[in-house]
Amino acid sequence: MGIDVSTQPHPAVEAEKRRIVEEFSTLGDWVARYEYIVELGGTLPNLPESLKTEQNRVKGCQSRVWFVPAVENGRIRFAADSDAVLVRGLIVLLLRIYSDRTPEEILATSPKFFEEIELGSHLTGSRANGLHAMVKRIQAIAQEAQAA
Protein backbone atom coordinates (compact mmCIF):
# COMPACT_ATOMS: atom_id res chain seq x y z
CA MET A 1 0.00 0.00 0.00
CA GLY A 2 1.63 3.23 -1.16
CA ILE A 3 1.11 6.85 -0.33
CA ASP A 4 -1.34 8.79 -2.49
CA VAL A 5 0.91 11.46 -3.95
CA SER A 6 -1.95 13.02 -5.92
CA THR A 7 -3.26 14.63 -2.74
CA GLN A 8 -2.12 18.22 -2.30
CA PRO A 9 -0.59 19.29 1.00
CA HIS A 10 -2.70 21.55 3.16
CA PRO A 11 -1.97 25.30 2.70
CA ALA A 12 -1.00 25.61 6.38
CA VAL A 13 1.61 22.87 5.92
CA GLU A 14 3.00 24.62 2.86
CA ALA A 15 3.14 27.92 4.77
CA GLU A 16 5.09 26.26 7.59
CA LYS A 17 7.52 24.73 5.10
CA ARG A 18 8.09 28.20 3.60
CA ARG A 19 8.72 29.65 7.07
CA ILE A 20 11.34 27.00 7.79
CA VAL A 21 13.05 27.53 4.43
CA GLU A 22 13.07 31.31 5.06
CA GLU A 23 14.53 30.84 8.55
CA PHE A 24 17.36 28.73 7.15
CA SER A 25 17.97 31.08 4.22
CA THR A 26 18.91 33.84 6.68
CA LEU A 27 21.62 31.63 8.17
CA GLY A 28 24.85 31.93 6.24
CA ASP A 29 26.82 28.73 6.29
CA TRP A 30 26.21 25.17 7.39
CA VAL A 31 27.83 25.79 10.80
CA ALA A 32 25.19 28.46 11.56
CA ARG A 33 22.44 26.11 10.37
CA TYR A 34 23.79 23.29 12.52
CA GLU A 35 23.93 25.59 15.57
CA TYR A 36 20.35 26.68 14.87
CA ILE A 37 19.16 23.06 14.74
CA VAL A 38 20.91 22.37 18.05
CA GLU A 39 19.26 25.51 19.47
CA LEU A 40 15.86 24.26 18.30
CA GLY A 41 16.54 20.97 20.05
CA GLY A 42 16.82 22.83 23.33
CA THR A 43 13.22 23.99 22.94
CA LEU A 44 11.79 20.46 22.70
CA PRO A 45 10.05 19.43 25.92
CA ASN A 46 11.44 16.26 27.46
CA LEU A 47 9.29 13.19 27.04
CA PRO A 48 8.43 11.51 30.35
CA GLU A 49 10.52 8.39 30.95
CA SER A 50 7.31 6.32 31.08
CA LEU A 51 6.75 7.05 27.36
CA LYS A 52 10.28 6.11 26.31
CA THR A 53 9.24 2.55 25.54
CA GLU A 54 10.27 0.13 22.81
CA GLN A 55 6.81 0.50 21.29
CA ASN A 56 7.35 4.27 20.86
CA ARG A 57 10.95 3.96 19.72
CA VAL A 58 11.80 4.78 16.10
CA LYS A 59 13.76 1.93 14.54
CA GLY A 60 16.59 2.81 12.18
CA CYS A 61 18.00 5.77 14.09
CA GLN A 62 21.54 5.76 15.40
CA SER A 63 20.33 7.80 18.37
CA ARG A 64 17.48 6.75 20.57
CA VAL A 65 14.30 8.46 19.32
CA TRP A 66 10.72 8.14 20.50
CA PHE A 67 7.50 9.34 18.82
CA VAL A 68 4.24 9.18 20.74
CA PRO A 69 1.06 9.91 18.77
CA ALA A 70 -2.24 11.12 20.16
CA VAL A 71 -5.25 11.25 17.86
CA GLU A 72 -7.88 13.81 18.73
CA ASN A 73 -10.68 15.19 16.55
CA GLY A 74 -9.19 13.52 13.48
CA ARG A 75 -5.77 15.13 13.97
CA ILE A 76 -2.54 13.50 15.07
CA ARG A 77 -0.42 15.32 17.61
CA PHE A 78 3.06 13.97 18.27
CA ALA A 79 5.22 14.17 21.34
CA ALA A 80 8.79 13.12 20.67
CA ASP A 81 12.25 13.05 22.16
CA SER A 82 15.79 11.87 21.52
CA ASP A 83 18.97 11.37 23.47
CA ALA A 84 20.91 13.40 20.85
CA VAL A 85 20.81 17.21 20.77
CA LEU A 86 20.97 17.52 16.97
CA VAL A 87 18.22 14.93 16.52
CA ARG A 88 16.04 16.84 18.99
CA GLY A 89 16.37 19.84 16.67
CA LEU A 90 15.39 17.74 13.66
CA ILE A 91 12.39 16.52 15.64
CA VAL A 92 11.31 20.13 16.27
CA LEU A 93 11.34 20.74 12.50
CA LEU A 94 9.38 17.53 11.85
CA LEU A 95 6.80 18.43 14.49
CA ARG A 96 6.32 21.86 12.96
CA ILE A 97 5.40 20.19 9.68
CA TYR A 98 3.65 16.99 10.75
CA SER A 99 2.16 17.41 14.23
CA ASP A 100 -1.46 18.44 14.76
CA ARG A 101 -2.36 17.45 11.20
CA THR A 102 -4.89 15.04 9.75
CA PRO A 103 -3.61 11.69 8.48
CA GLU A 104 -4.37 12.87 4.94
CA GLU A 105 -2.30 16.04 5.40
CA ILE A 106 0.60 14.03 6.81
CA LEU A 107 0.55 11.50 3.97
CA ALA A 108 0.36 14.27 1.36
CA THR A 109 3.38 16.10 2.78
CA SER A 110 6.71 15.18 1.26
CA PRO A 111 9.86 15.66 3.34
CA LYS A 112 11.60 17.06 0.24
CA PHE A 113 11.66 20.54 1.79
CA PHE A 114 14.62 19.32 3.87
CA GLU A 115 16.62 19.41 0.63
CA GLU A 116 15.79 23.11 0.27
CA ILE A 117 17.46 23.83 3.59
CA GLU A 118 20.38 21.60 2.51
CA LEU A 119 20.05 19.10 5.33
CA GLY A 120 20.49 16.10 3.08
CA SER A 121 23.92 17.15 1.87
CA HIS A 122 25.24 18.04 5.33
CA LEU A 123 23.94 15.29 7.60
CA THR A 124 26.06 12.19 8.07
CA GLY A 125 24.70 9.07 6.41
CA SER A 126 23.46 7.69 9.72
CA ARG A 127 21.73 10.98 10.63
CA ALA A 128 20.10 11.16 7.17
CA ASN A 129 18.91 7.56 7.61
CA GLY A 130 17.54 8.49 11.03
CA LEU A 131 15.66 11.47 9.59
CA HIS A 132 14.19 9.18 6.93
CA ALA A 133 13.23 6.64 9.63
CA MET A 134 11.44 9.36 11.64
CA VAL A 135 9.45 10.48 8.59
CA LYS A 136 8.55 6.86 7.77
CA ARG A 137 7.36 6.36 11.36
CA ILE A 138 5.21 9.50 11.19
CA GLN A 139 3.72 8.33 7.89
CA ALA A 140 3.08 4.81 9.25
CA ILE A 141 1.24 6.28 12.23
CA ALA A 142 -0.84 8.43 9.83
CA GLN A 143 -1.67 5.37 7.72
CA GLU A 144 -2.75 3.46 10.81
CA ALA A 145 -4.94 6.37 11.97
CA GLN A 146 -6.44 6.72 8.50
CA ALA A 147 -7.34 3.02 8.40
CA ALA A 148 -8.92 3.12 11.89
Name the residue type at position 113: F
Asked if residues 74 and 102 have their Cβ atoms less than 8 Å apart, the reply is yes
* CB atoms closer than 10 angstroms to residue 25: 11
Concatenating the DSSP letter of every residue in 18-33 gives HHHHHHHHTS-SHHHH
DSSP 50: G
Q: Is 110 in a helix, a strand, or coil?
A: coil
Q: Which of 40, 61, 123, 138 is catalytic?
A: 61
| Active-site residue, 61 included | yes
Asked if residues 33 and 117 have their Cβ atoms less than 8 Å apart, the reply is yes
Which value, to the nearest 10 degrees, does the dihedral of the CA atoms of residues 81, 85, 86, 90 take?
A: 20
Question: What are the catalytic residues?
Answer: 61
